[in-house]
Homo-oligomer: A and B are copies of this chain.
Amino acid sequence: MMSDVKIVTAAVLVIGNEILSGRTKDLNLGYLASGLTAIGIRLVEGRFIPDVEATIVAAVNELRAKYDYVFTTGGIGPTHDDITAASVAKAFGAKLILHPVAARLLTQHYGAENLTEARMRMAHTPEGATLIDNPVSVAPGFQIGNVFVLAGVPRICQAMFDGLKGRLQGGDPVLSRTVSGYIGEGVIAKDLGLLQDRHPALEIGSYPFFRQGKFGASFVIRGTDQAEIDQAATELHGIIHNLGADPIEGEPAV
């Protein structure tokens, strides 16, 4: 069955010194991860790098060759430290040009008298890029090839992503079912490993928790074949029951 499955992959490239220094906590990777999963795209790598042109160029070129889609966040504002657009242009060997539609949008928004040279930087994209709508603060992101360049501010990044989702082609969606139990991972681990061995096409993850004063774990069964997932879940119910605990569908109540 595995050979029939269409897998579409993605990487997220988070660009910004402020993330690596710890000043700013990233909120975008998790949002993009959930959003991509929901439309059948598998996030296979995340990478966090500083605002250094050579580093951005190398990462963009490595990731766009390796995955179906690449999403960058950060570095598309008006100040000198915003070098993502120029770096992505360089990665593609494209000229950085004033995008006429972006220029018009910014002129309408700021008014010609307030459209500083710095703000006009935000209307520059690699030649051949198509814009990504910014419903929050107007200055657009852009797409070139399989690379989608998004803002770093989470509210803007997330709005841009939500707006561009229609351009993405998902693969077979990853289905999942979660079964939990108040049982130690170390107690169930052996049976869980055997369950995984019986279902190599599935991916069974174990995530411990501590709730209501008790240890337990959630077991997430992921795959593309709902019938096999359900079969494995039934077996897992049996395993938890045989170990003396009550199987719980989904996550336990908090």
Q: Which residues of A contact B (CB under 8 A)?
A: 12, 14, 17-26, 29-37, 42-50, 77-81, 110, 114, 116-119, 121-122, 153, 174, 176, 185-190, 192-193, 196, 203-208, 220, 222
Contacts and interface: CB of A to CB of B under 8 A. Distances in A.
A232 B31 CA distance: 37
A43 B25 contact: no
A212 to B, nearest CB: 17
B47 A79 contact: no
Given A46-B48, A116-B186, A118-B185, A208 B33 contact: no
A9 to B, nearest CB: 10
Interface SS majority for chain A: mixed
Contacts of A50: 44
28 contacts: A14-B46, A17-B222, A18-B220, A19-B30, A19-B33, A20-B45, A20-B46, A21-B34, A21-B43, A21-B222, A22-B30, A22-B32, A22-B33, A22-B34, A22-B43, A23-B220, A25-B30, A26-B29, A46-B46, A47-B48, A78-B185, A80-B193, A80-B206, A81-B205, A81-B206, A116-B189, A117-B189, A122-B186
A212 B36 CA distance: 34
A162 B187 CA distance: 29
Given A19-B29, A46-B48, A110-B186, 10 more contacts: A17-B205, A20-B42, A20-B43, A21-B34, A22-B43, A44-B49, A44-B50, A45-B47, A45-B48, A118-B193
Contacts of A192: 79-80
A48 B25 contact: no
A33 B185 CA distance: 30
A77 B208 contact: yes
Contact of A80 (B42, B45, B196): B196
A217 B80 CA distance: 14
